[in-house]
Amino acid sequence: GTRIGRSELKPGDLVLFFGDLHHIGLYAGNNLVLHAPRTGTVVRYESMDNMPFQFGVRIG
């Protein structure tokens, strides 16, 4: 896919977090990401501001 910055995100883009890119989610729009915070928790919407965003990726 194509690497994009935070200001270019659209719903459905992949969003990668943390310096080692160990966490990924789906951008849902309105500064929200859909993700599973850790093993054993439910998938949920959360503010993008709660994790260190690195970059987004648009597929297709």
Annotated domain spans of the chain: 2-58
37 — pLDDT class (breaks 50, 70, 90): confident
Q: What percent of the chain has pLDDT over 90?
A: 92
Closest CA to 17 of 59, 47, 60: 47
* Higher-pLDDT residue of 57, 38: 57
Per-residue pLDDT averaged across 20-38, rounded? 95
- Is the Cβ–Cβ distance between 23 and 35 less than 8 Å? yes
Residue 60 has pLDDT above 90, yes or no: no
Q: Which fold has domain 2-58?
A: endopeptidase fold (from Nostoc punctiforme) (3.90.1720)
Over the chain, what is the mean pLDDT? 96
